[in-house]
Amino acid sequence: MNCSKGIYILVEGPDDERFFKRILEPKLSSKYSFVHIIKYGGDEYKSTKNLQKYSNYIRAFLKSNNDYIFVVDIDDSPCVTYKKEQITNLVKNIDKENILVVKKEIESWYLAGAEDNFFSEFGISKFTINNTEKLSKEDFNKIIPRNFDRTDFMIELIKNFSVEKAKNRNKSFKYFMEKYIE
């Protein structure tokens, strides 16, 4: 990676965008001249109308000699390879190497980085989060304390985020850190 080029990160939705802006953009900024996060809207990329737009974006990123990452949740796909195949079938010009599959969903990354005292402060069992890779959006929503709305809880998690803890609790987060930052 080279400081004379930038990186574009295509993310699914507002939760992904918030996480990348607050946790990962500052780290990527030391490796790239700019970091630009583009929200593509989750299932929106599956619509035929929007496929060409993402294909054109990727072509422009490559033409301008910048890097890109297309971030997607694994959701219910059986494996990372299958999910990458799905994306390459939907988005022309995309390279499988530039697709980052989050296990299971971005909420798992938020929770993976929480400090131990955060769990006890909010009455969350540490057992639930020792490995966050199977955590779904629905599971995440169940552990949100009653006095928080979802977004506020996610912001609190970001404020108390430990990269080292997250790497130990989530392999896809660790993979991202090792591939793009460390």
In this structure, are 71 and 123 located in the same domain?
no
In this structure, are 76 and 14 located in the same domain?
yes
In this structure, are 73 and 30 located in the same domain?
yes
In this structure, are 97 and 112 located in the same domain?
no
Check: pTM over 0.75? Answer yes or no: yes
Q: Is residue 134 part of a domain?
A: yes
Three-state SS for 11-74 is ECCHHHHHHHHHHHHHHHCCCCCCEEEEECCHHHHHCHHHHHHHHHHHHHHHHCCCEEEEEEEC
Q: Is residue 67 part of a domain?
A: yes
Domain count of the chain? 2
Q: Is residue 181 part of a domain?
A: no
In this structure, are 60 and 45 located in the same domain?
yes
| Residue that is written with structure tokens 């929503």 in the block | 141
| pLDDT tens, per residue, the chain with 182 residues | 446 899 999 998 899 999 999 999 999 999 999 999 999 875 555 555 666 788 889 999 999 999 999 999 998 899 999 999 999 988 888 999 999 999 999 999 999 998 888 878 877 776 667 778 888 899 899 989 888 899 999 999 999 899 999 999 999 999 999 999 98
Q: Is residue 16 part of a domain?
A: yes
Where in the sequence is the domain holding 162, given as residue range(s)?
A: 104-169
In this structure, are 67 and 119 located in the same domain?
no
